Structure 1
């Protein structure tokens, strides 16, 4: 078997605050294969973004301490020099942030910002870099790209700015793209366009993608595999088809039950009770037990291990519930979600 492109092992990231230590990522492990699209889902504060910021080396070292291994093509990015990390960022691994207006420099033209990303990593002339920038603007669907390349970020709509960010991420043909909530601030129509664009470009360029989102609908649209995170840990992971056909963790049931439907008349969406726990002092045992309708005494005492229990070795979940209950509840949820759907 070939070596994974990215192999994250027992990753932990802690932040020092005035109130104490926040364990934002607590023992997370996963792999990304070349060309794979991996979705990471969960509520705000679950550790999705911090996980990927740690992979990129973008946490402030004055406040954050990370441990574990982040092996990119076998090289541990947690141990490399700052200069080596700068070589990797934007060139071999690129990131698309959720708010392009704060990611793009408002006082520089779009073309200059894209060209700088090329010049920083490749030995090319400014003219060649601009030609590459124009090529990518056309690839991501910017109309009249020859004119728009000399515009400033504020002259673009939100959807067009996000397309520029995608162009910037792709401009050096990276092997891995991390997309952090790339459709959050966009309207539904533009979201669909951006997701379709990402999917097409991922296939055209062959890059692996990590898609960070709170929306399981987005994951179903673009991902091959999915990781469900809660309170800084992975609670379930597997192939998208397996997760959607037989979700095995109560938290995943809650996320799926809260998905809006257009083909079924539902008076009120399901809401997971309570709030995510403070990562300053997370609950003992299963971290989801204070909000779980299936919590048992063991859930309040023992932390469940992430393991395969559903007959599919690639589908893992961390839950003390017995297999019969998981299968019954998963089947009931899937039946509800697919009621009235056209197959």
Structure 2
């Protein structure tokens, strides 16, 4: 199949999940001829699809299609983003303006909602929708497994980790920021936003990740003031990395305790055929309050670059001003 054929096939499969199209032939399906309209329809169908089981055939065609789409995009490597600041520990902080789904790094941060399984509004322009669309249906399925295990909505300020699937990023860190309908956050709500950054960095460090890219959490649909959010983000990341560096130096002065064979033994992978989640080489930890996936690597200090991703010129100018004031 070429990309057009894959796209039409995927649209047909998703439409046939609806009772009115289940037995329809190819010619009877409402598939537009225009390529752009097809792309919009495919994205809309992906957006509204519930986290239901999916066939291996569907995953194969979808992954080929998304891989082809990715090959046509300009992908930026985290190491190519110039630093805005270098900390004493050697960790660098950077500002990057662009689409976070086109950034190759260890993890990108998704500003999720409390349901954690993505935005179900067709073709909505939020970052949650963009990340789930680019990652493929596996991401919603992975998030649904987390929520089933957890048994309650995701609290504000916590974070979960999943594979990135078809994204150039290896993993996605999902966090729910505070919603500020008035646009005037209280001190507690400001602390909740800081918790989002801490939780994501803690997960990244625990999983041995080196490069992390943050979106501007809560500043879109959740209406947190952009400049205040940027100041909280930069300050919190600074504090976390400084504390992490101090802890590492302290740990290096302590005698190393050997790990037991029971601790070091690997456990089974998470891939399952009936859910459509493939084995990604990471394991289930069963600790739903912090994360669901575990790379099995827990070094004392791994984060060497944190990127603040912005989309607009205005947001870039805000972060540049925050960095200048911070110095």
Question: Shared fold by TM > 0.5?
Answer: no
Q: Which has the higher contact order (CA 8 A, sep 6+)?
A: 2
Q: Which protein has the bigger strand share?
A: 1
